[in-house]
Amino acid sequence: MVRDSVLPSLTIFAIDNDTLLARQAGYRGVQLPLNGLADSSRFYLKATSTSGADTITFRYKRVPHFISAGCGFVNYFNIDTIFSTYNEIDSVVINSTQVTTDNATTLTLFF
């Protein structure tokens, strides 16, 4: 049975630029910023204080999307592949290969 749960703790770093994205408890979901200047992004994820850490790598194609004359363009992303280590992560499910501005759940991680 699949059950949504809150992670006891969570630490996430963007590996490419050492940016701390999250470090606290109580997450059911997070938004990870994909690099708009590269074709991949890597993240360090530690789900509990006692577990091993995992890395997740997204490979994608960037697609410029026109918003308006005042706002200009944003990048949409078409995910090609996701690689993950499996120290604490059990499996990864890609719910959608397209990442846009609609805040849809793109990826589900199972621990």
Structure token digits, residue 90:
């059990």
Q: Which H helix or E strand runs over 12?
A: strand 10-14
In a domain? residue 49: yes
Q: Which domain holds residue 39?
A: 10-110
In a domain? residue 21: yes
In a domain? residue 4: no
In a domain? residue 64: yes
pTM: 0.81
In a domain? residue 1: no
Q: How far is CA 88 from the centre of its chain?
A: 16
Residue-wise pLDDT for 14-49, tens only, equals: 887 767 776 666 666 788 889 989 999 999 998 876
Mean pLDDT for the chain overall? 85
Tell me what pLDDT residue 65 has: 92
**Where is pLDDT greater, at 17 or 94?**
94
Contacts of 23 (CB under 8 A, 6+ apart): 10, 11, 12
In a domain? residue 2: no
In a domain? residue 82: yes
In a domain? residue 104: yes
Q: How many domains does the chain have?
A: 1
Tell me what pLDDT residue 63 has: 94
Residue-wise pLDDT for 44-92, tens only, equals: 998 876 668 999 999 999 999 999 999 899 999 999 999 999 998 889 9
